[in-house]
């Protein structure tokens, strides 16, 4: 595989995602953890851009960095006495590290058959080949049969919005998600507010 700008961008965003994630779990200062969490979210957003999912990348920045990370920062400030803990990891951290490493190894072993790019089509059937038969594939990756980025213009925000509200699309999950968000909103207010009798 030759080194292209895409590869370099992928490496940069992957380092951002994983480095940020690692600092979240090992940083002693909780405030720094939250800031590294933002970095990790931003790296994920970059990966979404590379995967030609610009809508999800924008939502990632808005929802994760703009809402969830800010919510975490507020929670840290509201519990500020807990920020400077002497011990940030509990006594079972070696076991936790072992579990994480074993999990990673198992996942990598599961993924390893896909290293051969032709195997992707073999494992997942002819679906990929059928879909892409009439379309020009990415010239950088002829063997893999992956569609080139510029042929993906059909997946627009409009298409996503339509899929969310059409009957043979996702209208039921969409409404359920609305109920879930409303319940979460009310639940969060009820749980977190002060009892004034």
CB-side exposure of 15: number of CA atoms within 13 Å? 5
Question: Could you give the 3-state DSSP secondary structure of residue 150?
Answer: helix
**Nearest-angstrom CA–CA distance, 99 and 33:** 22
Question: Could you give the 3-state DSSP secondary structure of residue 124?
Answer: coil
The residues, ordered by sequence, that sit 6+ positions from 34 with a Cβ below 8 Å of its Cβ are 24, 69, 72, 73, 76
Q: Is the distance from CB of 155 to CB of 146 less than 8 angstroms?
A: no
Q: Is the distance from CB of 63 to CB of 71 less than 8 angstroms?
A: no
| In the complex, minimum distance from the CB of residue 53 to another protein, in angstroms, rounded to a whole number | 5
């Amino acid at each position: 595989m030759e080194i292209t700008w895409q590869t370099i961008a992928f490496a940069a965003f992957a380092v951002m995602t994983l480095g940020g994630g690692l600092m979240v779990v090992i940083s002693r200062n909780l405030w720094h953890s939250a800031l590294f969490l933002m970095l990790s979210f931003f790296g994920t957003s970059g990966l979404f851009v590379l995967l030609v999912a610009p809508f999800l990348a924008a939502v990632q920045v808005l929802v994760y960095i703009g809402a969830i990370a800010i919510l975490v920062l507020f929670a840290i400030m509201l519990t500020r006495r807990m920020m400077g803990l002497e011990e940030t990891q509990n006594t079972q951290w070696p076991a936790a590290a072992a579990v994480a490493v074993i999990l990673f190894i198992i996942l990598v072993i599961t993924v390893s058959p896909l290293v051969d790019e032709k195997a992707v089509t073999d494992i997942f059937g002819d679906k990929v080949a059928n879909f892409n038969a009439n379309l020009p594939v990415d010239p950088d990756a002829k063997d893999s049969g992956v569609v080139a980025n510029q042929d993906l213009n059909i997946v627009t925000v409009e298409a996503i919005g339509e899929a969310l509200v059409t009957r043979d699309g996702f209208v039921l999950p969409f409404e359920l998600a609305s109920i879930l968000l409303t319940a979460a909103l009310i639940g969060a207010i009820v749980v977190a507010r002060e009892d004034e009798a």
